[in-house]
Amino acid sequence: MENRKMLVVYNTCGIKRDNTDWYIESINSLLNQDFEGYRVVFSSCLNSPECFKEVYSTFKDKISYCYHTDPHTVNITFNKAIQESVKHFGEFEGYLYVDSGCSFEDQTNVISSVYECFKSGPYGIVAVQTDTDEALHVLDPDKFVYQTPEIQVKDEDYVVPIGKSINQHVHLFSNEIYKKYNKIHPDIFAAFCSESTFNYVAASVKQKWVIMKDLQVRHLHSLDGASACASFVSEKHSNMWNNLLYDRDATEFVNDKEAYEAGLGYEECNNIMQHNPEAYDEDGYIKDPDRLTSVVNKYLFLSKEELDYDEMRCKFIP
């Protein structure tokens, strides 16, 4: 396709249950956008054959499909759906992750607004506000609250400070990130904590993480069931922050002096690993992006030996 501005990946998981009617409603809201140059992909991890067939019969070639036949985390299936899409269509300017519980409803300006925000600054990640489970209070408890149906970021886009994070439901990621890592999401995590690393992934490409102003979408919390592939808590370490795949141990980077000096932080809201402020300039940009990239690639992304994406089983229908 030409004019590849945005790939929109609608991510579902049928390990615990299907929500077929909701998926169709949500995808319709993604298609009903006043914007040119985007493609929707239905990324389906082990939804039932009946569910997949109904979605396919509803949309046919209006969207693309990536059916994952093995259980994988959302981070991994999102990465794989992007890789397969890029193989077929080529690279896009940005890749929009949409949680299965999200719908744009009758708002036809969501994607155009996201794109406008994305292009307005050196942004590697653009967050869209949702009506539940944002965790904006972690950024500033005096300014934001945890649960509210009200739009909280108004009038001006809000740059997420280094060391802070929010929950991900609808987020756009830049092609600069994809080109650097051949992936978007750090994929070492069995369940939680991914978002605490987003700022460092963006920083490694000299970009920032921003929350878009004046717009909010609907979000049904844990529609498909949160983190269906693994336990929330590590059986080995008995906590959520050291719950990594392929027997990785988070203390390896938490206690690594080079990782700290390069500018990496992790789960700072829980005081696990504070970032080194000296690694950033007065405007919040990393001073040595190559050094941070090396650390991010080593510690936050799985190696090909651990998981070869080319060998993952999936069915892609463009």
In 3-state terms, what secondary structure has residue 126? strand
* Cβ atoms of 312 and 72 closer than 8 Å: yes
Q: Which residues pair with 189 in a beta bridge?
A: 244
Rg for the chain, CA atoms, rounded: 19
CATH topology of domain 6-226+307-317: Spore Coat Polysaccharide Biosynthesis Protein SpsA; Chain A (3.90.550)
Alpha-carbon distance of 244 to 191, in angstroms, equals: 8
Q: What is the pLDDT, as a whole number, of residue 231?
A: 77
Chain-centroid distance of CA 229 in Å reads 17
- 220 Cβ contact list (under 8 Å, min separation 6): 22, 101, 102, 132
Q: What is the pLDDT, as a whole number, of residue 249?
A: 98
Low-confidence ranges of the chain (pLDDT < 70): 226-230
Q: What is the pLDDT, as a whole number, of residue 227?
A: 61
Structure tokens of 90?
């080529």
Residue 206 burial (CB count, 10 A)? 13
* Cβ atoms of 85 and 317 closer than 8 Å: no
Alpha-carbon distance of 254 to 275, in angstroms, equals: 10
* Cβ atoms of 136 and 144 closer than 8 Å: yes
pTM over 0.95: yes
Which residue, 289, 200, 282, 196, is CA-closest to 244? Answer: 196
Q: What is the pLDDT, as a whole number, of residue 1?
A: 75
Residue 61 burial (CB count, 10 A)? 9
Alpha-carbon distance of 74 to 13, in angstroms, equals: 8
